[in-house]
Structure 1
């Protein structure tokens, strides 16, 4: 059986934690920051752990990072 390929876009955007959860950067911070509240900008700093349904989708893109 040949090796399965990892999606290049997924390996750039996501990291897998030691427990197998998926970490991603916060969404919604590319543009339009003036209309966003200060609370939103502060809470969207850094990274976040994906929800279980999203995590299942991303894990199919990265077969060897389980």
Structure 2
């Protein structure tokens, strides 16, 4: 069986945690930051887990994750 390719866009966005969960960045932290307060920006900086309904799709995009 040939080797499977990883989707490079997904490889740049997702990581596996030590416990095996798939981690992602939060959205809305790229621009228009002046109007967002510090608490909101701090919470957006944290890493989040991928929702359980999306895990299967991410794993298909990254077979060796």
Shift of 1:39: 2.3
Deviation track 1:11-65 (CA, whole Å, cap 9, x = no partner) reads 1111012332111112110101122233211211131111111222211101122
For structure 2, list consecutive stretches of 5 or more residues without a partner in the other structure. none
For the aligned residue pairs, the C-alpha RMSD in angstroms reads 1.4
Q: What is the TM-score when the length of structure 1 is the normalising length?
A: 0.80
- Which range moves more in the overlay, 38-47 or 21-30? 38-47
- Report which of the two has the higher share of helix: 1
**What does residue range 18-57 of structure 1 map to in structure 2 within 5 Å?**
18-57=18-57
For structure 1, list consecutive stretches of 5 or more residues without a partner in the other structure. none
Show structure 1 runs of 4+ deviating over 6 A: none
How many residue pairs get matched? 65
- Report which of the two has the higher share of strand: 1
Q: What is the TM-score when the length of structure 2 is the normalising length?
A: 0.81
